Structure formats: C-alpha cells, structure tokens
Structure 1
Amino acid sequence: MIRFGVIGTNWITDEFIRCANLTGDFTLNAVYSRTEQKAVKFAQKHSVDLIFTNLEDMAKSNSIDAVYIASPNSFHARQAKLFLQNKKHVLCEKPISSNLLELEEIIKVAKENKVLLMEAMKSSFLPNFKSIKENLYKIGKIRRYFGTYCQYSSRYDKYKAGKNPNTFNPEFSNGSIMDIGIYCIYPLIHLFGKPNNVIANGFILKSGVDGEGSLLLSYDDMDAVIMHSKITNSSLPSEIQGEEGNIIIDKIHTPENIKIFYKNGEVEDITVPQSKDIMYYESKEFIDLIKEDKIESTINSYSISKNVMEVLEKAREQMGVSYPSDNKDL
C-alpha cells in the first residue's frame, strides 16, 4: 500500500481519493488544510485520523509516502519542492507550476532526491487517447490539429458580481489558458511534439487574466488551432485532419467517442471501453511507478510537462498575462 497525504479539500481531491482507492494499492493517511476546521471535516469524511495545518510538519511525517497536490496553481511548485526535499513522491495537479523556471527547479529537486514527480493530466492515460495515437496513421499525412475546450465557469458570475474568485485571480496563476487551454495543448504535444512557433490572442479581464483565447501553432508540415474559454460554452468537437481522413474527438479533455471519417466516405468507430472513473488511470500510473522505483513517467514525462509549459508561457507573454509567481523564487 502507498500511503498518501492530500493537499486541497475540494471536489477534485474527493474524486482523486475515490478513483485512487480503486487501484487497490492506495490508502489515505493524512489531510492538509490551512484551517483546522476544514481539515477535520474533510478527514472525517474519508475516515482519516491524521490532519495537518502546517505543511512542513506534513512533509516530514513518517506516516506518508506520497502527496497529491490540488491547491491553487501558484502554490504547486513551492509545495511540490517541499515534499520532494523530504523524499515524498509528488502527484501535482495541472498546471504543475506557474512557469518554466519553477518547473525546472522541482524536476531538479526530484532527481536529486530520487523521488517521483508527475503532473496529473488525466487525459494522457485514458484508453481512448491511446486509441487516437494508435490509429493516427490511418488518416495519412497529418495537416491540422484542432483542439477546443470552452466551458462557462460558474465562478464567472461571481466575478461579474464584483467578487474576486481564485479562477480569475492572477495571484493564483489562473485564467482560461492555465485551467482550460492546457487540456488542448497537452494532447497536441503528446502527438506532435513542440511547435516551431506560437501565436496567441485572448480577451483579458480587468483582473489581469485571460477569460478566453486562441492559439495558432506551426509545425514543419502542419498547423494547430486551439480555442479555450471560461466565459463561454462551445459544443464543437476537436479534430485531427489528415490527407486520407479526419478523426473527430468528442471531448479533448476526456475523449469518450472517437471516429475516423475517411475521404472515401467510410466511417470507423475507434472508441474503446473506458471506465467512468476517469482519474483511476493516472492514479494507477503514479502508484505503479512508485512500486517500480521510477522517478519519471514515460507518458506524462518531464519533457512533455516542460514543452507544454513553454507553450503556456509564450501564449501568456503574447496575451499580456503575468503572475506574481513569475517574479518570485521558490
């Protein structure tokens, strides 16, 4: 059994715990929250006795082997570094850091301490994403990738009402591209590598973060178009276009229905069975790697995370989005 601690007491942590339990090698031993009341409430819900309100104490604890980090984005790298320095394995929610410098620092610390560090981007591990990769050759020479994820945030109403939710606050390294756009960028990098050039535009809210935006990315013999938004909805699927056909992906963040439309008019359904317990797959990968004494995933590898972060950084720079974390050392 791998003994976990969790940082963050929101719905995503609940879901991680539920899905990680399905692996059969997970046990939740500790809960952290800044306030004791929240920590106790969350711990009681999951039948856990050990709570922390001090991260240093938790990192030094002999009661955990690994930590799942689901705090606001701006805290990710600093918290990951603390646990890595204390030789705890770290599974960190996306985006794993605020910028490339932070990411390079925590990778360095993970290697120095010989512990596992992995970005929790769930889509990379899904059977239907693997099906896309395995069937990509069928559509011939790839000429275009189109990724879209636009989901109106319930917190946008709070923002418009004059409040300052984390979702639209640069203090927390947030905004549309970091929260939503990354789901379109990750598959692109996985399938086609780092682009040669990035052109980004977006609507910048008065708070200083992007509410929505688009990217045009160029490769030697193809291009990619990405649309992302937290202030509008879209019903469009994503698509990969080849000279022999095109692949239609219902949801790029959680592909569940995948079809190839060949240029001769034939249609092939390449959807494969996939659990509704979506976070099970990333949980199993992380736990299996710990058991195998690996410090890096071959799927969500360090290089993938770095290439994705480089695109995010270039896009933010062109949109004029900066975070306080960009000017701080870990």
Structure 2
Amino acid sequence: MIRFGVIGTNWITESFLDAATEVKDFSLTSVYSRTEEKAKEFADKHQATHTYTEIEEFAKSEEFDAVYIASPNSYHAEQAILCMNYGKHVIIEKSIASNAKEVESIIEAAEKNGVVVMEALKTTFLPNFQAIKENLHKIGTVRRYFASYCQYSSRYDAYKEGTILNAFNPKFSNGSLMDIGVYCTYPMVALFGKPNKLLASSFLLDSGVDGQGSIMFEYDEMSGVVMYSKIANSYIPSEIQGEKGSILIDNFNSPTHVEIRYKDGTTEDITREQVDNTMYYEAKAFIETIQSGKKESDVNSLEQSLITAQLLEEARKQTGVVFPADQ
C-alpha cells in the first residue's frame, strides 16, 4: 500500500483521487491546505485522517509515502523539493515547474534523496497514445506532427470582467502554453525527441500571460506544429503525417478515437478501450514505479520533462511571457 498526501484541494485533485482510488495499493491519508477549514472539508470528503496547514509539518509527516502536488505551477518546485528532502515520492501536476532551472533542481533533489518524481502529464500513459506509438511505423517516414488543443476557459469570462484568476496570472507561472500547450508539446518530445529549434507566436493578455499561441518545431526530417488556446475553441483533429499515411487523433490531450488513413484511401481504426477518468493510468504507473524500486517512470522520464520545460521556456522568451519565477 502506498499512502498518499495531497497538496491542493481543487477540481484537478478531485479528479486525480477519483481515478487513483481505483488503483490497487492506493490510500489517501493526508491533506494540505492553507486553511484548516478547507483541509478538513476535503479530508472528510475523501476519508483522509490527517490535515495540515503548515507545509513543512506536512512534508515531514510520517503518515504518507508519496504526494500528489496540484498547487499553482509557481509553487511546484519548492513544494516538491521540500517533500523529497523528507523522503517522499512526488507526482507533480503539469507543467512540472515554472522553467528549466526549476526542473533541474527537482531532478537534483530526487537523485539526492533516492525518491521517484514524475510529471503528471496523463496523455503519454493512455492506451490510445500507446496505440499511436506502436502503429507509427505504418505511416512511413514522418514529415509533420500537428497537435491542437484549444479550449475556451470559463475563467476567461471572469478575466474579461476584471477579475484575474490564477489561470491568467503570471505570478503563478500560468497561461495558455503552461496550462494546455504542454499537452501538445510533451507527447511530441516523447515520440520524436528534442527538436533542433522552434519559432513561437502568442497573443498576450494585459495580465502578462498568453491567451493563445502556436509553435513551429524543426527536426532533421520533419516539422512539428502545435496550436493552443484558452480564449477560443477548436474542433479539428490532430494528426501525424507520414509518407504512407496519416494518424488522426480526435482529442490530443485525451484521445478517444485514433485511426490511420493510408494514401491509397483505406483506413484502419487503431482505437483502444480506456477508462473514462484517464488520470487512472498516470496514478497506476506512478505507484508501480515506486513499488518496482525504479527511480523514474519508463514513460514520463525526467529527461522528457526537462526537454519540454526548455522548449516552453524558449517559446515564452520569444513571445515575451515572463514569470516572477524566472527572475
């Protein structure tokens, strides 16, 4: 049994717990929140027995073995390193940190303390992503990777009315790229490695974060194109284009239908069954990694997290998105 603590009492933590409770050997024992009222309310709802309002008291607790961190991005590195210094394994909600320097610090702490740290980027664990990976050879030499994730944020309505919530506040290392553009970029790195260079374009909001953007990546024999937005929706599929055919993906962050369209006009449905709450797979993989004695995930490696962080940081530099954490 792996006993968990959680940092963050928001909807994403709710979703993670709903999924993780279906995983064998998962147990929630501890909740951290800045207020006792929220901590107790959340703990009671999820049958956790211990609550904390002081982060160091939480980190050094002996009531849990691993922690799921779903606080704002700007807190990820500091909280993760503190927990790892007390021997806790850590799974960190994407984006794993504000910038590449913070990711390097996280990796260093994991190595020093001999614990597992993993970025909770769910896409790469999904059966339908594995179907993409395993069938990629069928489309021949890949020439273009195109991933789109554009989803109008309900928080944007509040922003337009003058209320800047966390999602659009640079103080928390947020914005469209960090929140959902990462879903397009990380899987590209997982499939094709680090690109040679990138060219980024963004629409910046007055708060200082990006409302939407696009990035072109250059590889030796192919190009990557990603589009992301929190201020408009998109309904087009993503695809990986090869010389023999293309793989079409309905929703790149959480694909439910994947098919190959060959250049001769034939199609092949390579969709696989997967559970509705797709966070199940990342939770299961994290627990299995701990139990196996390995120091990092075979799927979401620390190298991939660092490369992705480097790419996101370069894209932000090109488009003028600067976080306080960068200073």
- Counterparts of 2:292 and 2:271, CA distance in 1: 30
| 2:84 aligned partner | 84
| 1:109 aligned partner | 109
**Residue 21 (structure 1) shift:** 1.1
- Counterparts of 1:243 and 1:165, CA distance in 2: 45
User: Counterpart of 1:211 in 2: which secondary structure?
Assistant: strand
User: Counterpart of 1:106 in 2: which secondary structure?
Assistant: helix
| 2:171 aligned partner | 171
| 2:253 aligned partner | 253
**Residue 320 (structure 1) shift:** 0.2
**Residue 106 (structure 1) shift:** 1.0
- Counterparts of 1:228 and 1:155, CA distance in 2: 16
Runs (4 or more) in structure 1 with deviation over 3 Å come to none
Write the mapping of 1:264-283 to structure 2, written as runs, cut at 5 A: 264-283=264-283
Aligned CA-pair RMSD: 0.6
| 1:137 aligned partner | 137
User: Counterpart of 1:190 in 2: which secondary structure?
Assistant: helix
**Residue 24 (structure 1) shift:** 1.6
- Counterparts of 1:151 and 1:119, CA distance in 2: 22
In the comparison of the two structures, how many residue pairs are matched? 327
Amino acid aligned to 2:323 = Y
- Counterparts of 1:298 and 1:292, CA distance in 2: 11
**Residue 14 (structure 1) shift:** 1.0
| 1:155 aligned partner | 155
- Counterparts of 1:62 and 1:221, CA distance in 2: 51
**Matching of residue 314 in structure 1 with residue 305 in structure 2:** no
- Counterparts of 1:276 and 1:160, CA distance in 2: 33
User: Counterpart of 2:155 in 1: which secondary structure?
Assistant: helix
- Counterparts of 1:150 and 1:256, CA distance in 2: 17
User: Counterpart of 1:251 in 2: which secondary structure?
Assistant: coil
**Residue 97 (structure 1) shift:** 0.5
User: Counterpart of 1:31 in 2: which secondary structure?
Assistant: strand
- Counterparts of 2:24 and 2:135, CA distance in 1: 31
Amino acid aligned to 2:50 = L
Q: Cα deviation per residue 1:213-257 (whole Å; 9 max; x = unaligned)? A: 000100001101111000000001101000000110001100110
- Counterparts of 1:20 and 1:48, CA distance in 2: 14
- Counterparts of 1:172 and 1:91, CA distance in 2: 19
- Counterparts of 2:117 and 2:236, CA distance in 1: 34
| 1:220 aligned partner | 220
Residue ranges of structure 1 left out of the alignment (5+ in a row)? none
- Counterparts of 2:141 and 2:106, CA distance in 1: 37
- Counterparts of 2:163 and 2:63, CA distance in 1: 39
Comparing 239-248 with 41-50, greater Cα deviation is found at: 41-50
- Counterparts of 1:46 and 1:54, CA distance in 2: 20
Amino acid aligned to 2:32 = Y
- Counterparts of 1:243 and 1:256, CA distance in 2: 24
Q: Cα deviation per residue 1:281-329 (whole Å; 9 max; x = unaligned)? A: 10011001111122111110011001111110010000000100112xx
Write the mapping of 1:31-70 to structure 2, written as runs, cut at 5 A: 31-70=31-70
**Residue 274 (structure 1) shift:** 1.0
User: Counterpart of 1:82 in 2: which secondary structure?
Assistant: helix
**TM-score normalized by structure 2?**
0.99
**TM-score normalized by structure 1?**
0.98
Q: Does the CA-based 8 Å contact 2:29-2:47 persist in structure 1?
A: no
Amino acid aligned to 1:322 = V
